[in-house]
């Protein structure tokens, strides 16, 4: 398509191009691809999320940057893309969790929570005057149906994975997972494989002090590991 023709279709998220594309949604995906690398892996009895904060200056306080969020006692997420957009989605997800608990006196299931998140994201592709969310999430959780790992897309699509990645270097990470991932991984094995993938995606530029890890296991709640525990586990993985 000639650039001048494309310009006519990429000014609003509600206008389809003749070949059925929504350019604003595709641009939002590009924002995610430029974001920090995040990986998620299911292991024998849980799910682990790992993300590199990618601090660009030694003057930045690493603890001031959050890219792994707790949504409810049993679910959390890692984000890539525009962190401010992700924060809005996380706030809405927390509200949905509380509303479900107040209405039904039980935790919302992880698949239902992800669907509600994706309904919100899809709404922002359907109306004029708003833009799609420039972020994707890896959602990890455990409920009565087992453990779950989902990936969301700026279009509002969702997909369940055994191992997944978002952000820069996704293709390299997924290629490694295709080769080495096994469903019977232990927690230590999942963290080791996740860190190997992160190192490959960042071409060895990852620093332990900028790594965040989130963890959920069957029968236990979601939690974000403290920096000291992250250092200890990564040292143990070596």
**Residue 40 sits in a domain of what CATH number?**
3.60.20.10
What are the pLDDT digits (tens) for 23-74? Answer: 999 999 999 999 999 999 999 999 999 998 877 777 888 778 889 999 999 9
**Strand partners for 135:** 81
What's the whole-number mean pLDDT along residues 170-177?
Answer: 96
Residue 35 lies in a domain: yes
What's the whole-number mean pLDDT along residues 102-108?
Answer: 97
> How much is the pLDDT for 198?
92
Token representation of residue 131:
């833009």
> How much is the pLDDT for 236?
56
Band the pLDDT of 237: cuts 50, 70, 90.
very low
Active site residues: 36
Domain of residue 135, residue span: 30-55+65-237
Residue 24 lies in a domain: no
> In 44-154, which ranges are continuous DSSP H helix?
83-104, 110-123
Token representation of residue 234:
């990564």
Residue 7 lies in a domain: no
Question: Would the pTM of this model clear 0.75, i.e. be above it?
Answer: yes
Residue 13 lies in a domain: no
> For the chain, what is the domain count?
1
Residue 16 lies in a domain: no
Q: With CA atoms as reference, report the closest residue to 71 among 114, 25, 29, 27.
A: 114
Mean residue pLDDT across the chain? 91
């Amino acid at each position: 398509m000639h650039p001048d023709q494309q310009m006519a279709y990429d000014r609003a998220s509600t206008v389809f191009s003749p070949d059925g594309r929504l350019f604003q949604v595709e641009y939002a995906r590009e924002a995610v691809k430029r974001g920090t690398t995040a990986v998620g892996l299911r292991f024998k009895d849980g799910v682990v999320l790992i993300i590199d904060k990618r601090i660009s200056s030694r003057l930045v306080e690493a603890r001031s940057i959050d890219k792994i969020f707790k949504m409810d006692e049993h679910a959390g997420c890692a984000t890539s893309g525009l962190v401010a957009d992700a924060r809005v989605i996380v706030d809405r997800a927390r509200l949905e969790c509380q509303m479900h608990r107040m209405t039904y006196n039980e935790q919302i299931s992880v698949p239902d929570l992800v669907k509600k998140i994706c309904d919100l994201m899809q709404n922002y592709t359907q109306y004029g005057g708003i833009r799609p969310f420039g972020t994707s999430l890896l959602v990890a959780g455990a409920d009565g149906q087992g453990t779950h790992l989902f990936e969301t897309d700026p279009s509002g699509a969702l997909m369940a994975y055994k191992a997944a990645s978002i952000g820069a270097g996704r293709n390299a990470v997924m290629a490694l997972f295709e080769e080495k991932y096994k469903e019977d991984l232990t927690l230590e094995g999942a963290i080791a494989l996740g860190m190997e993938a992160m190192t490959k995606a960042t071409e060895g530029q990852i620093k332990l002090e900028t790594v965040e890890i989130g963890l959920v296991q069957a029968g236990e709640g979601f939690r974000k590991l403290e920096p000291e525990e992250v250092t200890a586990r990564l040292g143990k993985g070596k």
